[in-house]
Amino acid sequence: MSEWGWVAFGFSVAYGSVALYVGWTAARVRRANRLLKDLTS
């Protein structure tokens, strides 16, 4: 793989992982909010 190929792969891993973690955290907050609403309604 060329130098640019490795750089593209590394940056994809970095930014992709960050996007996944941010999305997963937001999804957990939404799910917990829904559960709390069900329990208290």
By the criterion CB under 8 A, which residues form the site for other proteins?
A: 1, 3-4, 6-7, 9-11, 13-15, 17-18, 21-22, 25-26, 28-29, 32-33, 35-36, 39-40
- Supply 20's token pair: 């996944």
- Phi, psi for residue 5 in degrees, rounded to 5: -60, -45
CB 9, CB 1: distance < 8 Å: yes
Q: How far is the CB of 26 from other proteins (least distance, A)?
A: 7
Q: How far is the CB of 29 from other proteins (least distance, A)?
A: 5
Q: How far is the CB of 36 from other proteins (least distance, A)?
A: 5
C-alpha–C-alpha distance, residues 22 and 10, integer Å: 18
